[in-house]
A and B are shown apart, each in its own frame.
Chain A
């Protein structure tokens, strides 16, 4: 599913309202977090390039709106997507149920061979947890997705989940020429910025 010319990957973020989809993207793309993220209408678009060994993956991310009635727009965003992150909020079981529905919809309607990641977000709110990691992990294994608990707020596992997606996408492909090397510079900057904020 990788676009051979640009190594770009269409990726979609799905999940119930308020699970932190936009915050995950903002953390990944800009290394930022804001308490009151403007609600997304329709969808918002972001890009970031990751380099994996000698290959690069340019993520073209569609961050979608969460409210139920917006779901009729979702096919437009997941059509042709090579990867998806399905987010739920570990403090809200209803969002986990909704995440399972998204998984089913993507299995039935999404791109064949789509790489799916299940993100149990808001993992910094451990004392309010309502969905156990074991339950989510068991579900993920059953359905052939990979699972991580994330916190966009505390910057836990956000880069990791995208790296894992990139790794799996590259694994599913024959090795390719690296045509996007120029973006490595941007990547290096991001890394150094991230490193400094990590230590603080």
Chain B
């Protein structure tokens, strides 16, 4: 289906992807090369082209999209310089020092040092503007709490886990094996035996770490993207662990996805509060927003947004917590408010949301709306809302189970 891709001027081949950030910012500008699909003139703005993004995903768009992507790459480079400058003035790894947890239970003012507070605020602002790809592994491990989590077990934990689970077959491993070749199958690294073996080990390892989650479809996309960013299996594994165990709502991926059902209800409530016109319009159409938002929350946007945009969302997700998912989901609706209000068919609604997501090559366009146009949204609010929705969700799921249980298969 895909034509061969031209090589880019600066090789981004995994795993050396952006490994030498310091070098890339001083080398010549990397220009995304494009391959015309129909052999038409590239000057035609509507001409559809395929190109590779920062993380080597093949994307399809027009010349404008390529230009946006190049601009984003340039902005990423500039943002990298900001981080290096700060490192020079604040000392190496300043961002790895203790932070005030903003995705935890709150701030203990008494034990606060001014310098810590200043760093936390600076870091929050900086992370919202994007973490340079080369620094993502270090910063993510630190701000998400993954480093701390890892420090509680022996250093050989991951290797031991992989050795102990090697060759074992469970329903989870069967499902994982089924999904591995179907995970971003056009990505050049994930399409290789090495890439697939890495992804398999991370997912299988996790399925044994938490047998209640085991393996849930959707985690394949999340783990794949974590691998591309973290560059080592072990780091990807710990990010997956902290994500499922600390960052996201409980039971998001277990059993009957009850956590996911809770999030969807919270989201519906928020949409009617933050975007009442859209919510009312969609309700009149009989359109349940969960029809599209379920995938957003389970794949953490990795299937609906371009890679760098997804990772910018994850930058903030790991630092500020799961409330970010709501802000971003609301932003996607908010950005298209006028368009959505104009359409009256479900297919058109889905089309608008789908196209918007896929063409969001500029992460700042999305994040500006998410953090500045939605109004404040705190972790506390989300926690309260979840508590409110939980009983209804549980009752509904239970009722469904009992109904199905009464249908005895002949």
Contact = CB atoms under 8 A, between A and B. Distances in A.
A37 to B, nearest CB: 6
A42 B185 contact: no
Contacts of B375: none
Contacts of A69: 216, 253-257
A105 B407 contact: yes
A176 B289 CA distance: 31
Interface in B216-250: 216-218, 220-221
B403 A108 contact: yes
Interface stretch (B85-93, B112-120, B173-181): B173-181
Contact of B261 (A37, A72, A80, A104): A72
Given A72-B400, A73-B257, A41 B217 contact: yes
Given A72-B257, A76-B288, A101-B409, A39 B179 contact: yes
B193 to A, nearest CB: 14
A60 B218 contact: no
A116 to B, nearest CB: 15
A67 B181 contact: no
Contacts of B284: none
B397 interface: yes
A47 B185 contact: no
Q: Which of A6, A69, A108 has the most CB of B within 10 A?
A: A69
Contacts of B388: none
Contacts of A27: none
B298 interface: yes
A67 B407 contact: no
A107 B1 CA distance: 40
Interface in A68-99: 69-73, 75-77, 80, 97
A42 B403 contact: no
Interface string A49-75: 000000000001010011101111101
A137 interface: no
Given A45-B347, A47-B347, A60-B347, A76 B290 contact: yes
Contacts of B288: 76
A36 B182 contact: yes
Contacts of B298: 41-42
B183 interface: yes
Contact of A100 (B221, B286, B397, B409): B409
* Chain A contact residues, majority secondary structure: mixed
Interface string B342-377: 000111001000000000000000000000000000
B400 A60 contact: no
Interface size of A as a range: 35 or more
A198 interface: no
A179 interface: no
A57 to B, nearest CB: 14
A6 B220 CA distance: 38
A18 B400 contact: no
Given A38-B185, A69-B256, A70-B217, A6 B345 contact: yes
B221 A41 contact: yes
A75 B397 CA distance: 11
A105 B291 contact: no
Given A36-B185, A39-B182, A43-B291, A104 B409 contact: yes
Contacts of B404: 105
B175 A67 contact: yes
Nearest to B178: A18
A66 B217 CA distance: 9
B400 A42 contact: no
Best-surrounded residue of A37, A47, A70 (most CB of chain B within 10 A)? A70
B183 A73 contact: no
B333 interface: no
A85 B206 CA distance: 34
B181 A36 contact: yes
Given A6-B345, A36-B182, A41-B217, A73 B175 contact: no
B286 A80 contact: yes
Contacts of B286: 80
Contact of A42 (B295, B397, B410): B295
Nearest to B345: A6
Interface string B256-299: 11100100000000000000000000000010101110110011
A45 B290 CA distance: 13
A66 B182 CA distance: 14
Question: What are the nearest 4 A-B pairs in CB distance?
Answer: A42-B294, A42-B295, A72-B256, A36-B185
20 contacts: A32-B1, A36-B181, A36-B182, A42-B292, A42-B294, A42-B295, A43-B291, A65-B217, A69-B253, A69-B254, A69-B255, A71-B256, A72-B256, A72-B261, A73-B294, A75-B400, A76-B288, A76-B291, A101-B409, A108-B407
Given A8-B347, A34-B1, 19 more contacts: A18-B178, A38-B183, A39-B217, A39-B220, A41-B217, A41-B295, A41-B298, A67-B175, A69-B216, A69-B254, A69-B257, A70-B257, A72-B256, A72-B400, A73-B294, A76-B290, A76-B291, A100-B409, A108-B407
